[in-house]
Amino acid sequence: MRGLFERFYPDECCGSTYQIDFAGLYAEGYRGVIFDIDNTLVPHGAPADERAVRLFDSLRDIGFDACLLSNNQRERVASFNERVGVHFIENAHKPSTKNYRKAMELMHTGLSDTVFVGDQLFTDIYGAKRTGLRTILVSPIHPKEEIQIVLKRYLERIVLYFYKKSL
């Protein structure tokens, strides 16, 4: 069972995007960060809040480039990005690897200096791992989610059970 799930295992887990040591990642040589939006940076459907704006300002100050990678449509992603001002790709078709690579092209980074941050195993983390990126799984910000995501969360719990046992 363990081997079956390993393709979904994140490289690391963090309680929140806002607890990640980005200065430490920069010191390790990372220069680009790809983010999911909903439940990774803000609750599902919410606009960029002050905390998100401060995060992206801080990333710029550290020296990072960033890209939002979302399966949402352009209106949602562009409106979120108005306040944070980074690269973005909407309708990304995660877990397809194509747009993870496009995000790195936009940031002029590669596999060795880019990290991905997201809250879903089967889209965010799986796609990033298939691309060859370092992955950080964060806990969802808000429990209210669309029904298809709620169903995936049950399956994620099974995978995370085996992931935690493997540590």
DSSP letter at 7?
A: G
Q: Give the residue from 37, 28, 95 showing the smallest Cα distance to 66.
A: 37
Least confident of 12-26, 91-105, 150-164: 150-164
pLDDT score at 148: 64
Of all residues in the chain, the percent with pLDDT exceeding 90 is 79
pLDDT for 1 = 53
Q: Between 151 and 22, name the one with better pLDDT.
A: 22
Gap between the Cα atoms of 133 and 113, Å rounded: 9
Domain ranges of the chain: 2-166
Q: Which residue is associated with the tokens 């949602």?
A: 76
Dihedrals phi, psi of 60, to nearest 5 degrees:
-60, -45
**pTM reported for the whole predicted model:** 0.90
Taking residues 122-132, report their average pLDDT. 96
Specify whether the CB–CB gap between 22 and 62 falls below 8 A: yes
94, HSE (Cβ side, Cα atoms, 13 Å): 29
Residue with tokens 């990033």: 128
Tell me which CATH code domain 2-166 carries.
3.40.50.1000
Which whole number is the average pLDDT over 87-93? 98
**pLDDT value of position 4:** 74
